[in-house]
A and B are shown apart, each in its own frame.
Chain A
Amino acid sequence: MADLSIDFCGIKSPNPFWLASAPPANSGDQVMRAFDAGWGGAVWKTLGDPIVNVSSRFGGIDYANQRMMGFNNIELITDRPLDVNFKEIYEVKKRYPMHAVIASLMTETKKDWEVLIRRAEDAGADGLELNFGCPHGMCERGMGSSVGQEPKLLAEITSWAKEFAKTPVLVKLTPNTGDIVEAGMAAIAGGGDGIALINTIKSIVGLDLDRLVPLPRVGNASTNGGYCGPAVKPIALHLLSALAREPNMIPISGIGGIANWRDAAEFIALGSTSVQVCTAVMHYGFRIVRDMIDGLSNYLDQQGMKSVNELRGRAIGAYKEWGELDLGYQVIAKIDKDKCIGCQLCVTACQDGAHQCIFAGSEDRQRPPQAHYPGLAKAPSPLPLGKIAGARVPWVDEPECVGCNLCALVCPVPNCITMEEVPSGRPHETWNDRTDQGRTRQPGGIHD
Chain B
Amino acid sequence: MAITLSNERDELRLRDKKPLYSEAEARAEAERCLYCSDAPCIKACPTEIDIPTFIKQIASENVRGSAKTIFDQNILGHSCARVCPVEVLCVGSCVYTAWGREPIPIGRLQRYATETTVKGIEKGAAPLHTPKAKTGKKVALIGAGPASLACAAELTLEGHTAVIFEKRGVAGGLNTTGIAPYKLHSQDAVAEVEWVQKLGVEIRLNSEITKDTATKLLADYDAVYIGVGLGADSKLNVPGEEGQGVVGATEWIEQMKLVPGTAKTLGDVIVVGGGNTAIDVARECALLGAKSVTMVYRRSTEEMSGYKHELEGARKEGVRFLTNTQPVGVVRDEKGALKALKVAHATAGVPVAGTETEVPCELVTLAIGQSKLREIASFFDGVEIDRRGCVVADPKTGATGNAKVFAGGDCINGGKEVVNAVADGRNTARFLTAAWTAASTSSASK
Interface positions of A (Cβ within 8 A of B): 64-65, 341-345, 347-348, 360, 388-390, 392, 412-413
Contacts of A345 in B (CB 8 A): 34-37
Interface positions of B (Cβ within 8 A of A): 28, 31-32, 34-38, 40, 59, 95-96, 98-99
Contacts of A412 in B (CB 8 A): 34
Contacts of B96 in A (CB 8 A): 341
Tell me whether B28 and A65 are in contact (CB under 8 A).
Answer: yes
Distance (whole angstroms) from the CB of B150 to the closest CB of chain A: 30
Contacts of A389 in B (CB 8 A): 95, 98
List 25 A-B residue pairs with CB atoms under 8 Å apart, sorted by A's residue number: A64-B31, A64-B32, A64-B59, A65-B28, A65-B31, A65-B32, A341-B98, A341-B99, A342-B40, A342-B95, A343-B37, A343-B95, A344-B36, A344-B38, A345-B36, A347-B37, A348-B37, A360-B38, A388-B95, A388-B98, A389-B95, A389-B98, A390-B98, A412-B34, A413-B99
Contacts of B98 in A (CB 8 A): 341-342, 388-390
Distance (whole angstroms) from the CB of B120 to the closest CB of chain A: 16
Contacts of B59 in A (CB 8 A): 64
Contacts of A64 in B (CB 8 A): 31-32, 59
Tell me whether B31 and A344 are in contact (CB under 8 A).
Answer: no
Distance (whole angstroms) from the CB of B91 to the closest CB of chain A: 15
Distance (whole angstroms) from the CB of A441 to the closest CB of chain B: 39
Taking a contact as CB atoms closer than 8 A, the residue among B34, B35, B99 that contacts A388 in the complex is B99
Give complex CA distance A7, B35 in Å.
49
Contacts of B35 in A (CB 8 A): 345
Contacts of A413 in B (CB 8 A): 99
Contacts of A347 in B (CB 8 A): 37-38
Q: A65-B28, A341-B95, A341-B98 are in contact. Are A392 and B40 (CB under 8 A)?
A: yes
Distance (whole angstroms) from the CB of A361 to the closest CB of chain B: 9
Tell me whether A344 and B37 are in contact (CB under 8 A).
Answer: yes
> Chain A: which residue is nearest B98 at the CB level?
A388
Give complex CA distance A360, B36 in Å.
13
Contacts of A392 in B (CB 8 A): 40
Tell me whether B34 and A343 are in contact (CB under 8 A).
Answer: yes
> Chain A: which residue is nearest B96 at the CB level?
A341
Inter-chain residue pair count (beta carbon < 8 A): 38
Contacts of B99 in A (CB 8 A): 341, 388, 413
Give complex CA distance A413, B32 in Å.
14
Distance (whole angstroms) from the CB of B370 to the closest CB of chain A: 36
Distance (whole angstroms) from the CB of A229 to the closest CB of chain B: 18
Give complex CA distance A345, B34 in Å.
8
> Chain B: which residue is nearest A360 at the CB level?
B38
Interface of A is mostly: loop
Instruction: Using A341-B95, A345-B36, A347-B38 as known contacts, list a sample of 11 further A-B pairs with CB atoms less than 8 Å apart, ordered by residue number in A.
Output: A65-B31, A341-B99, A342-B40, A343-B37, A345-B37, A347-B37, A360-B38, A388-B98, A390-B98, A392-B40, A412-B34
Give complex CA distance A345, B36 in Å.
6
Give complex CA distance A413, B59 in Å.
22
Give complex CA distance A350, B359 in Å.
64
Cβ-closest 10 pairs across A and B: A348-B37, A344-B37, A343-B36, A64-B31, A341-B95, A65-B31, A341-B99, A388-B98, A343-B34, A343-B95
> Chain B: which residue is nearest A352 at the CB level?
B37
Contacts of A343 in B (CB 8 A): 34, 36-37, 95
> Chain A: which residue is nearest B93 at the CB level?
A342
Give complex CA distance A65, B27 in Å.
8
Distance (whole angstroms) from the CB of B22 to the closest CB of chain A: 15
Contacts of A390 in B (CB 8 A): 98
Distance (whole angstroms) from the CB of A349 to the closest CB of chain B: 8
Give complex CA distance A213, B307 in Å.
52
Contacts of A348 in B (CB 8 A): 37
Contacts of A341 in B (CB 8 A): 95-96, 98-99
Give complex CA distance A412, B32 in Å.
11
Distance (whole angstroms) from the CB of A299 to the closest CB of chain B: 28
Give complex CA distance A413, B95 in Å.
11
Give complex CA distance A412, B31 in Å.
13
Distance (whole angstroms) from the CB of A123 to the closest CB of chain B: 46
Contacts of A360 in B (CB 8 A): 38
Give complex CA distance A344, B35 in Å.
9
Give complex CA distance A90, B32 in Å.
49
Give complex CA distance A65, B25 in Å.
11
Give complex CA distance A342, B36 in Å.
8
> Chain B: which residue is nearest A66 at the CB level?
B31
Distance (whole angstroms) from the CB of A231 to the closest CB of chain B: 17
Distance (whole angstroms) from the CB of B101 to the closest CB of chain A: 9
Distance (whole angstroms) from the CB of B129 to the closest CB of chain A: 26
Distance (whole angstroms) from the CB of B42 to the closest CB of chain A: 12
Contacts of B38 in A (CB 8 A): 344, 347, 360
> Chain B: which residue is nearest A351 at the CB level?
B37
Give complex CA distance A388, B40 in Å.
13
Between A342, A389, A412, A413, the greatest number of chain B beta carbons within 10 A of the residue's beta carbon is seen for A342
Give complex CA distance A165, B434 in Å.
85
Distance (whole angstroms) from the CB of A203 to the closest CB of chain B: 22
Give complex CA distance A64, B38 in Å.
21
Give complex CA distance A442, B177 in Å.
74
Give complex CA distance A341, B31 in Å.
18
> Chain A: which residue is nearest B38 at the CB level?
A344
Contacts of B31 in A (CB 8 A): 64-65
> Chain A: which residue is nearest B36 at the CB level?
A343
Give complex CA distance A390, B97 in Å.
13
Distance (whole angstroms) from the CB of A207 to the closest CB of chain B: 13
Give complex CA distance A345, B35 in Å.
8
Contacts of A388 in B (CB 8 A): 95, 98-99
Distance (whole angstroms) from the CB of B195 to the closest CB of chain A: 28
Give complex CA distance A412, B99 in Å.
11
Give complex CA distance A388, B93 in Å.
11
> Chain A: which residue is nearest B100 at the CB level?
A388
> Chain B: which residue is nearest A343 at the CB level?
B36
Give complex CA distance A390, B95 in Å.
11
Contacts of B32 in A (CB 8 A): 64-65
Give complex CA distance A124, B99 in Å.
57
Distance (whole angstroms) from the CB of A388 to the closest CB of chain B: 5
Distance (whole angstroms) from the CB of A103 to the closest CB of chain B: 42
Between B32, B36, B37, the greatest number of chain A beta carbons within 10 A of the residue's beta carbon is seen for B37
Contacts of B37 in A (CB 8 A): 343-345, 347-348
Contacts of B36 in A (CB 8 A): 342-345
Give complex CA distance A334, B432 in Å.
48
Give complex CA distance A360, B95 in Å.
15
Give complex CA distance A412, B40 in Å.
16
Distance (whole angstroms) from the CB of B112 to the closest CB of chain A: 16
Give complex CA distance A360, B99 in Å.
19
Give complex CA distance A389, B40 in Å.
10
Distance (whole angstroms) from the CB of A378 to the closest CB of chain B: 20
Contacts of A344 in B (CB 8 A): 36-38
Give complex CA distance A343, B38 in Å.
8
Give complex CA distance A345, B28 in Å.
21
Give complex CA distance A180, B95 in Å.
46
Give complex CA distance A108, B269 in Å.
87
Give complex CA distance A282, B333 in Å.
76
Distance (whole angstroms) from the CB of A308 to the closest CB of chain B: 37
Give complex CA distance A348, B28 in Å.
24
> Chain A: which residue is nearest B33 at the CB level?
A64
Give complex CA distance A446, B37 in Å.
38
Give complex CA distance A328, B38 in Å.
36
Give complex CA distance A410, B35 in Å.
11
Contacts of B95 in A (CB 8 A): 341-343, 388-389
Give complex CA distance A217, B28 in Å.
25
Distance (whole angstroms) from the CB of A356 to the closest CB of chain B: 14
Between A65, A343, A345, A392, the greatest number of chain B beta carbons within 10 A of the residue's beta carbon is seen for A343
Contacts of B40 in A (CB 8 A): 342, 392
> Chain B: which residue is nearest A348 at the CB level?
B37
